[in-house]
Homo-oligomer: A and B are copies of this chain.
């Protein structure tokens, strides 16, 4: 078994950092590490890239651990698509590469396939074997394609005015309307007096 590095890290270093950041090593995060590795190897060394994750589960943490892109600095975006794919793209030109877990290639890796497609109940899963198979597979279960992103859709809106909500007295983006989304009842999620009804509004 000839293990590749994951980004600038050895596998062991990646595992240590993952446990510290994510709480545990997970199959998704390990595959995510190889996806980041494949994507960054496919880009010019001096590329100034942003990343789109098509899943909110595990994958964003692989990106945050291995690249300068985080959810808080805005260079990582999460889309509610639920596919296991990452797109790295030049933030100016939009040219980039999309890396994804290839279901066709999983035919040769039944343990990984059973986990990924949830074909085996979790309590029947041999996690140790699964992780060993993922390490063995590395990038062999991934595919990638050159893609083009409309960067204008992902650019930050700068300089939009801030308003103070007349109901809660908190600052909010003025473009949301005359009062903030919580006071408008659209995005409430907590109660101080058990009278406020939460509404569905999870973003990620």
Which A residues have a C-beta under 8 Å from some C-beta of B?
21-23, 29, 52, 54, 56-62, 64, 68, 70-75, 77-85, 87, 89, 96, 98, 100-101, 103-104, 116-118, 145-150, 153-154, 159, 161-162, 164, 169-173, 176, 180-182, 187, 189-192, 194, 198, 200-204
- Chain B residues near A204: list those with CB within 8 A: 56, 71, 77-78, 203-204
Closest residue of chain B to A152, judged by CB?
Answer: B198
Contact assessment for A182 and B87 in the assembled complex, using a CB-CB cutoff below 8 Å: no
Decide: A148 near B82, CB < 8 A? Known: A61-B72, A74-B57: no
Q: List 17 A-B contacts (CB under 8 A).
A: A21-B70, A56-B71, A56-B72, A58-B72, A60-B71, A62-B72, A64-B72, A77-B203, A80-B187, A81-B180, A83-B171, A116-B162, A118-B161, A147-B190, A148-B194, A150-B189, A153-B200
Contact assessment for B182 and A83 in the assembled complex, using a CB-CB cutoff below 8 Å: yes
Decide: A83 near B22, CB < 8 A? Known: A70-B61, A169-B103: no
Decide: A190 near B72, CB < 8 A? Known: A118-B162, A201-B79, A203-B56: no
Contact assessment for A191 and B72 in the assembled complex, using a CB-CB cutoff below 8 Å: no
Nearest chain B CB to A154 CB, angstrom units: 7
- Chain B residues near A72: list those with CB within 8 A: 22, 29, 56-62, 64
Nearest chain B CB to A175 CB, angstrom units: 9
Contact assessment for A198 and B153 in the assembled complex, using a CB-CB cutoff below 8 Å: yes
Decide: A71 near B68, CB < 8 A? Known: A118-B162, A153-B200: no
